[in-house]
Structure 1
Amino acid sequence: MTNVSSTTTAAGTSTSVTSLPPQAIGRWQHRLADGRVCCDVCPRHCTLRDGQRGFCFVRSNHDGTIVLDTYGRSSGFAMDPVEKKPLNHFYPGSSVLSFGTAGCNSACRYCQNWSISTSRQWSTLAVEASPERIARTAVDYGARSVAFTYNDPIVFAEYAIDTAEACRELGVNAIAVTAGYMSAVARTDFYRVMDAANIDLKGFTEDFYRNVTGTHLADVLDTIAYVCNETNVWVELTTLLIPGYNDDDAQLHAECVWIREHCGRDVPLHFSAFHPDYRMRDVPPTPLDTLTRARDIAIGEGLRFVYTGNVTDQDGDTTWCPQCGGTLIVRDWYEIESYRLTADGRCPECGCVIPGRWDTTADFQGFGRRSWRIPMR
């Protein structure tokens, strides 16, 4: 049964829906016969009585209406390279204005951003910013995209959608970094305004998803298949390999076969190294050999663009031509050392078309390893 809790403001008193901005009203909900309201944003379908919060903590029932309590508030903003999302085929070397809020609808035992995703303190949301203000700040700082990240944008979908629409009006792209645990009814609206997404495929067994992330594999696979096949969103996938949990050969083969058959062999796949954190501090970091083995398995199963992350591995950072084997984009972590794609995204040696979103005007010097926090203007 989904956990719920009572809802209060920072001052500890209940709020009326009339005191909240109309944009904060949940777009996906329905009332039950017993007076409760069901939140339809994700597969948990939390059923809430007045004054109760859902599992994510940031969506609650105010006077019979579910509201996103974090609308217009953020845990902070930073400028990042797009490769950090990670996205290697979406305007390489460009800068991204990244932000998140608080709360999450997953319960990953290894969460790297647990202080944000599990926060129950409104002081976490120290920055107020409207969607229009975020879009304008991105333009002012020269960011090509805005990324919804740190915590899953599914839980602040209304805020993310409005921000993506404001960004589109100013020519700024919208990127979702997400676990993909979203309901079918909500994902159509959400991905309609996204330009790119990195979706976590955290493992490939229901046992792993249920026991380590608190979610379900089938729902995530449905989202990935939908975004890859029924939208124009540029998609890359990431699997964080955790020693002894999701790094065995059988699971890796099964994952890569599913990706090839349901998403196509051109969807980039990132295998990232795990570092002990949150409730899995007793698990060792992922060895480089494990990432290399996983990459070899994926390539052997026919996937054409497979990367390694969170480690120093130039082969795993590099974009290779799948036809002639030439180097196309050489990276050192987030720094682009060499860029050889033609203006129309082809290999200069054999003419092979490389799927992605490519910039024909940038100098491709790369954003580098830098990230910095920025104030809202």
Structure 2
Amino acid sequence: MNKAPTLHPGRWWHALPDGRVQCDLCPRDCQLHEGQRGACFVRQMVDGQMQLTTYGRSSGFCIDPIEKKPLNHFYPGSSILSFGTAGCNLACRFCQNWDISKSKDMDRLMDSASPQAIANAAKRHGADAVAYTYNDPVIFAEYAIDTALACREQGIRNVAVTAGYIHRQAAREFFAVMDAANVDLKAFTESFYHKLCVGHLQPVLDTLTTIHHETDCWLEITTLLIPGQNDSPGEINELAAWVAKELGPDVPLHFSAFHPDWKMTELPPTPPATLTQARRIALDAGLHHVFTGNVHDPEGGTTFCPACKAALIVRDWYAIRRYELTAEGRCPHCQTAIAGRFGKMLGRDGQAFGPRRIPVRLSP
């Protein structure tokens, strides 16, 4: 039996003269007739207005290490309560969460939770933050913003894991309530975004500059390197040079390994050597903190002091093996300040959360 969607008034839209409404949330600018859904599938015209159909409903909750987002310079070793809904406003052929992001079955959203219930659950389970992830949180921005505000009232931080495909005005409001974000910069060519994501590159670059220059949200970037698609040394150099120039050398950049999935199962996994090479190119382009992901690479997972090159945070997958930053976030060897958000303790109890994954149910 199909459940009726949970409707909540949407923001960022306007009425058109012909009776349709236009969604102003993301660059797709979907123009909808009565009853029609946008490309993301979760924003719908109902009774002449824009409605969000997934408010208060989630595809599941889980407590993860912050490093899994990935965020390496945002309270390392802390824990985070992760959740998402369904749908997405991009159509990436290589999507690695396609069962959620491409779902049009609202019955997948089994966990019901109000913003206050999520904040309470994070507090109850000792999570340091809440992550809006799995599918892209910009498409359920109203739900995410309300939850973030409820979390802030209880001292819980907020993290967005997103592709950044959102208009600037909505981005300013959304990221204003986020404490950190990891943005997928999927490639550095318009052709990649057009052919493999059915989107455009420039709006994502606009989102990155908006976050970094117009909000207090800590920013890290991830690029999934796909063999033969976005992994050429030239493109990687252009990407890293843009980050260094437009955002500065201290924004962490993660290069992550692709594995065949969704509609791109014919390609091989990313060779570890490709990630190592990409990391070296980005460091040579002037970036201070470049990491590798989805592979076992202790050097690629380590935070080094950009001044004296000392290994300050040594990671093994999601486990922290050594942590040498001072309480003020400085290198103990040369006193250089390390960009990021750091505290006196790794986690709430003074210990790193580690590589655990703890499923959580918020409703019976």
The equivalent residue for 2:117 is: 133
SS in structure 2 of the partner of residue 240 of structure 1: strand
How is 1:1-377 mapped onto 2 (pairs within 5 angstroms)? 10=2, 24-362=8-346, 365-376=351-362
- TM-superposed deviation, 1:10: 3.2
Q: Normalising by structure 1, what TM-score? A: 0.94
Aligned length: 361
TM-superposition CA deviations, 1:177-197 (whole Å, max 9, x none): 000000122111101111000
Distance in 1, matches of 2:160 and 2:122, equals 16
Deviations 1:87-131 (A, max 9, x none): 000000000000000000010101111000011111111110000
Secondary structure of residue in 1 paired with 2:119: helix
CA offset at residue 11 of structure 1? 5.1
Provide the rounded CA distance (Å) in 2 between the counterparts of 1:68 and 1:361: 39
Q: Please tell me whether the aligned partners of residues 41 and 186 of structure 1 are also in contact (alpha carbons under 8 angstroms).
A: yes
The AA in structure 2 aligned to 1:220 is V
Amino acid at match of 1:371: R
Q: RMSD of the alignment, in Å? A: 1.3
| CA deviation string 1:201-230 (max 9, x = no partner) | 100000001111111000000000110111
Cα gap change, 1:40 to 1:72, in 2 (>3 Å): same
What is the identity, as a one-letter code, of the residue corresponding to 1:192?
A: A
Asked if 1 retains the 8 angstrom alpha-carbon contact of 2:82 and 2:132, the reply is yes
Q: Alignment partner of 1:53: what SS?
A: coil
Secondary structure of 1:265's counterpart equals: coil
- What is the alpha-carbon distance in structure 1 between the residues aligned to residue 253 and residue 356 of structure 2? 23
Spell out, residue by residue over 1:221-279, the C-alpha distance to the aligned partner (whole angstroms, 9 max, x if none): 00001101111100000000000000001100110110011000000000000011000
Note if contact 2:345-2:351 (Cα within 8 Å) is conserved in structure 1.
Answer: no
In the alignment, structure 2 segments of 5+ residues that lack a partner are: none
Q: Is the 8 A contact 1:99 1:149 kept in 2?
A: yes
Give the C-alpha shift of residue 365 in structure 1: 3.7
Q: 2:313 aligns to what SS in structure 1? A: strand
TM-score (ref. length: structure 2)? 0.97
Counterpart Cα distance in 1 of 2:302 and 2:254: 12
Alignment check: 8 A CA contact 1:334 1:367 kept: no
Most deviating of 119-128 and 236-245: 119-128
Q: Percent identity?
A: 57
Per the alignment, in what secondary structure is the counterpart of residue 299 of structure 2? helix
1:5 matched residue in structure 2: none
